[in-house]
Amino acid sequence: MYKHTHRIAWFALALALVVIVFGAFVRLSDAGLSCPDWPTCYGRATWPTQEAHFAHAEQNFARPVESHKAWREQVHRHLAALLGVGVLALALLAARRRRFGIATILGASLMVAVAIPLYMQGQHVAASVLAALAEVLLLLAAWRWSNQDLSRVATLLLAVIIFQALLGMWTVTWLLKPVVVMAHLLGGLATFSLLAFLAWRATPDAPLVHSDAPRLRGLLGIGLVLLVVQIALGGWTSANYAALACGTDFPTCLGQWWPAADWREGFVLWRGIGVDYEGGVLDGEARVAIQMAHRLMAVVVFGHLLAVALRLWRTTGLRHWGVTLGVLLIAQVALGISNVHFGLPLAVAVAHNAGAVLLLFVLVTLLTRLRVPS
């Protein structure tokens, strides 16, 4: 690997954290539809700030301008674009020794670059075909290449971030459809996880050699799966505006331990296109079902990860990782309870999202670094 790859990867990882947390801020401050078009904002690369911009927006867009929200959405897009450039650089570095590696990465990127203006001109079919071809090209390359030089994971990472951009577009054009919002969150976390894996693999002397590595990796793998499910439920809760479905009651919900809940309606993933989901469309009982599912899964995740943290704390050489995981876990639970008790304060809700990312980082780090003695 290129000697500076790990530095670029760590920078991209830090930027991915910023993008995810800032994206949570955008979503939780109800700014997700503050720019009704994509990738521009009311036809501008920035956002409307002057009277002439407002007049143009009123003539050409049905949604009124909210500048105090629009800047959040567009800054988030620019940060995501910068992250995309970093991922492209990593893919080019990793693929440079592969036959046609540079041509493959640049060819796929060019297709995406051409697809964006086509989409802006209303040629949606042509833009979609180009984006799909780019994704297929990258996935085939990732499947064909090995990961000895990290070309596979870097190419897969580029494919993921391109699809993540498409999810960002659909989030706007499909009016905050919950399944797309949830997928966009998971896509951001997949990007973050792949970057963490790549950063550690590219960092010299990163492996943690331990005789108990196989058993620990098994426990950590189960924890990772449980955490991803819980994050998905959290995204579904947020996308359906169900965070306060139980009012400010905890651990009860609406004054009951098991309130009336519509589980079937609460977990319908697809409701067609054209519905504006801003503010949510579900009734109270469906939202209660979503909130209860998130709480119940939180108990499962907490129990398992607490056991993992205790196991790490008792393992020689890994005690500090056990303490880190335990502190993050307890803090995350406290933030979740505070969200309910204090009526979803923006700062606490954003911190809750950041806590999930940090827990994910610890699990991916340990899974990547733990090795059996040779």
Residues 223, 284 share a domain: yes
Residues 10, 123 share a domain: yes
Residues 227, 112 share a domain: no
Looking at residue 2, its pLDDT comes to 55
Q: Which residues pair with 41 in a beta bridge?
A: 44
Residues 116, 234 share a domain: no
Residues 147, 13 share a domain: yes
Last residue of a domain, one of 146, 176, 205: 205
pLDDT tens across 4-48, in order?
788 999 999 999 999 999 999 999 999 988 999 999 999 999 999
Looking at residue 205, its pLDDT comes to 83
Owning domain of residue 102: 1-205
Residues 102, 222 share a domain: no
Residues 319, 213 share a domain: yes
Last residue of a domain, one of 205, 236, 262: 205
- Mean pLDDT, the chain, as a whole number? 93
Q: Is 41 helix (H, G, I), strand (E, B) or coil?
A: strand
d(CA 39, CA 33): 12
Contact (CB, 8 A) for 29 and 69: yes
pLDDT one digit per residue (tens) for the chain, 374 residues: 556 788 999 999 999 999 999 999 999 999 988 999 999 999 999 999 988 888 888 888 988 899 899 999 999 999 999 999 999 999 999 998 888 999 999 999 999 999 999 999 989 899 999 999 999 999 999 999 977 778 999 999 999 999 999 999 999 888 889 999 999 999 999 999 999 999 999 998 888 888 889 999 999 999 999 999 999 999 999 999 999 999 999 999 999 999 999 999 999 999 888 888 988 999 999 999 999 999 999 999 999 999 999 999 999 889 999 999 999 999 999 999 999 999 999 999 999 999 999 999 999 999 999 998 87
Residues 127, 213 share a domain: no
Residues 212, 73 share a domain: no
On the CB side of 364, CA atoms within 13 Å amount to 22
Is 73 among the residues known to form the active site? yes
Residues 43, 189 share a domain: yes
Last residue of a domain, one of 205, 226, 244: 205
Catalytic residue among 58, 66, 73, 135: 73
Q: Assign residue 207 a region: left if phi > 0, alpha if psi is -120 to 50, beta otherwise?
A: beta
Please state the pTM of the whole predicted model: 0.94
Contact (CB, 8 A) for 192 and 182: no
Distance between the two ends of the chain, CA-based, in angstroms?
Answer: 23
The position carrying tokens 């036809």 is 43
Residues 156, 74 share a domain: yes
What's the total number of domains in the chain?
A: 2
